[in-house]
Amino acid sequence: MDLRNLETFMKVCDLGSFTAAADVLQLTQPGVSKQVQRLEAELGVTLLQRRENGLQLTEAGRETYHAAKEISAQWQALVESCRTANNTLSGQLRLGASSIPSKYLLPQRLSVFRRTYPGVELSVDVCDSQEALDLLYAREVEIAGVGSKPVSTEVAFSELGSDQLVIVAGAEFFTEIPWVKAPFLLRESGSGTRRATQRALTDRGISMDTLRQAAQTNDPDLMMNLVESGIGLAVVSSLQAEDAIRAGKRVRIVEELSSQRSFYLVWLRDRDKNPLVRAFIEIALPNRLAENEGNGEP
């Protein structure tokens, strides 16, 4: 059995197309098709059928997909176990993180981890909170740093840090204008900041739909530049606002919108024995690993 064929088959299933899998795996589309065909020939069954609305797994395909997930996880565990047999960690640790954790909460922890385990290569994918969790569920990353508490029973998590939401405006914004009537710059729908903003506004009896949206962006730095230019106000992390003010940006905090909110470090329950995952948790969350085992709550 060639594990590469199994991995390719799983990627086709996860992404729903041979072309998308080829892009991610950096293979040609015919190359991906051949690997799936080899797997089908080895098993003696048809795994995928083409339909007008896309690919569809056969019954054998569904069984193979679930078995492949288990085999892949077991193989990865074996590889990691062998790598750490001499008590020296090596390999790659992949993280997905939203903007605030990636910029303000994780860098120092990543630096300490890298100095402690120089044989480990770090990979960080910066995206919004929902995308980071999706990468974790798809096993594209081992750790996620997000701005909203996960609800899946598949994961364990613990608080990584906290901040509060504030409304920022350009230096020329007149305080005589009620902020609820000013144009706003908003984060994308998958953003933890956007969800937290919606909750904070609801607590004040304000619907986000009533805000005058001037623009939407998934880049918090661009958002702050647009605020400085006077296009509109924005709800941002107090960490980001204070950082911008220290850097000399012509912005100011016009109101604190909410009380403390939390950010979380999240990992799959079935991977908490992974040496790389455990090592990072021990550094990022000192004295917290034992509290999370078996309950997934901070």
Indicate whether 110 and 66 sit together in one domain.
no
In a domain, 9, yes or no: yes
Indicate whether 30 and 100 sit together in one domain.
no
Select the more confidently predicted residue: 212 or 287. Answer: 212
Indicate whether 27 and 52 sit together in one domain.
yes
Contacts of 35 (CB under 8 A, 6+ apart): 2, 4, 5, 8, 9, 27
pLDDT of residue 55: 87
In a domain, 35, yes or no: yes
End residue of a domain, out of 83, 113, 140: 83
End residue of a domain, out of 83, 113, 144: 83
Residue 125 burial (CB count, 10 A): 15
In a domain, 298, yes or no: no
Check pLDDT > 80 for residue 295: no
Please compute the mean of the pLDDT values over residues 190-215 and round it to a whole number.
Answer: 90
Q: What are the backbone dihedrals phi and psi of residue 239, each rounded to the nearest 5 degrees, phi first?
A: -65, -45
Indicate whether 181 and 129 sit together in one domain.
no
pLDDT of residue 25: 86
pLDDT of residue 292: 47
Indicate whether 281 and 154 sit together in one domain.
yes
Indicate whether 32 and 175 sit together in one domain.
no
pLDDT of residue 70: 85
Tell me the residue range of the domain where 17 lies: 3-83
In a domain, 184, yes or no: yes
CATH code for the domain of 49: 1.10.10.10
In a domain, 275, yes or no: yes
pTM of this prediction exceeds 0.85 = no
Indicate whether 155 and 270 sit together in one domain.
yes
As for how many domains the chain has, the answer is 3
Indicate whether 154 and 273 sit together in one domain.
yes
Select the more confidently predicted residue: 221 or 173. Answer: 221
Indicate whether 36 and 66 sit together in one domain.
yes
Check pLDDT > 50 for residue 298: no
Q: Alpha-carbon distance 265 to 166, whole Å?
A: 23
28-38 confidence digits (pLDDT tens): 988 989 999 99
Indicate whether 29 and 117 sit together in one domain.
no
Please compute the mean of the pLDDT values over residues 185-214 and round it to a whole number.
Answer: 90
CATH code for the domain of 153: 3.40.190.10
110-153 confidence digits (pLDDT tens): 999 999 999 999 999 999 999 999 999 988 999 999 998 898 99
In a domain, 297, yes or no: no
In a domain, 48, yes or no: yes
What's the mean per-residue pLDDT of the chain?
Answer: 87
Sign of CA pseudo-dihedral 176, 178, 179, 182: negative
Indicate whether 22 and 142 sit together in one domain.
no
In a domain, 206, yes or no: yes
Indicate whether 149 and 268 sit together in one domain.
yes
Contacts of 83 (CB under 8 A, 6+ apart): 89, 90, 91, 275
pLDDT of residue 94: 95
